[in-house]
Amino acid sequence: MISVAEPWVEAPLKRFVDDARVTFALLIYPSGQVLGQSGFARAVDVMSAAALAAGIHATVRELGRTLDGKGFRDVFHAGAKRRLYLAEATTPRGPCLLLTVFDEQSSLGLVQLYFEELRTALAHTKVPVPDAAPMLDENFEVELNRNLAMLFGRAPGRRNITPTS
């Protein structure tokens, strides 16, 4: 199932997943923010994978520059059963990365073939102008404090500490 943070990536990402027959697909900004994904069950796991993929990409790009004078555009890793492919694309909002994992149902050639289609689709997709209205209520702090206090299992409030003498 596809879930997206940016609706304009949904159709091209779905087409890629269906055509390339991959297990996981994750489209992210290079900063690690998620654009869309397929195959993950929990949103927090998606964010962890995105942070690591952004890290891999940044590292490999710099390694490429060091060794070759220019950054590598894609990375392939073959595990025992699953394979991983990470590559760059461009959108009207700037560069993005695709991390995808696949098994024997697919192949690197197939993934690369359909990634080129995805790359082309993303480059030419129409991105809507963001809504200009403020979105959070003025008193959002009340909900923020309540939620954070619940998260930490405590009542909102500050504790002071005194240095030991």
Partner 1 sequence: MSLVNYATREITCKIVYYGPGRSGKTTNLHYVYGQVPDERKGKMVSLATQTDRTLFFDFLPLDLGTISGFTTRLQLYTVPGQVYYQATRKLVLQGADGVVFVADSQARQLDENIESLQDLHANLGNQGMDPRTVPLVLQYNKQDLPRDMIMSVDDLDEALNFRGVPRFAADALHGVGVFETLRGIAELVLKRLASPAEAGSR
41 counts as binding partner 1 under rule CB under 8 A = no
Give dist(CA 89, CA 118) in Å, integer. 8
List 73, 77, 124, 154, residue binding partner 1 (CB under 8 A): 154
List 51, 84, 110, 121, residue binding partner 1 (CB under 8 A): 51
Q: How far is the CB of 20 from partner 1 (least distance, A)?
A: 24
Residues 6+ apart with CB under 8 A from 79: none
Give dist(CA 12, CA 121) in Å, integer. 6
CA distances from 105 to 14, 22, 81 (A): 17, 8, 11
Q: Which is nearer to partner 1, 108 or 144 (CB)?
A: 144
List 62, 63, 103, 123, residue binding partner 1 (CB under 8 A): 62
List 12, 22, 45, 97, residue binding partner 1 (CB under 8 A): 45
Give dist(CA 119, CA 35) in Å, integer. 14
69 counts as binding partner 1 under rule CB under 8 A = no
Question: Coil, helix or strand for 125?
Answer: coil
List 18, 31, 124, 127, residue binding partner 1 (CB under 8 A): 31
Q: How far is the CB of 110 from partner 1 (least distance, A)?
A: 30
Residue 157 φ/ψ region, left for φ over 0, alpha for ψ in the -120 to 50 degree band, beta for the rest: left
145 counts as binding partner 1 under rule CB under 8 A = yes
Q: Which is nearer to partner 1, 80 or 155 (CB)?
A: 155
Q: Dihedral of the CA atoms 127, 130, 131, 135 (nearest 10)?
A: 130
12 counts as binding partner 1 under rule CB under 8 A = no
Q: How far is the CB of 104 from partner 1 (least distance, A)?
A: 27
Residue 21 φ/ψ region, left for φ over 0, alpha for ψ in the -120 to 50 degree band, beta for the rest: left
List 43, 63, 108, 113, residue binding partner 1 (CB under 8 A): 43
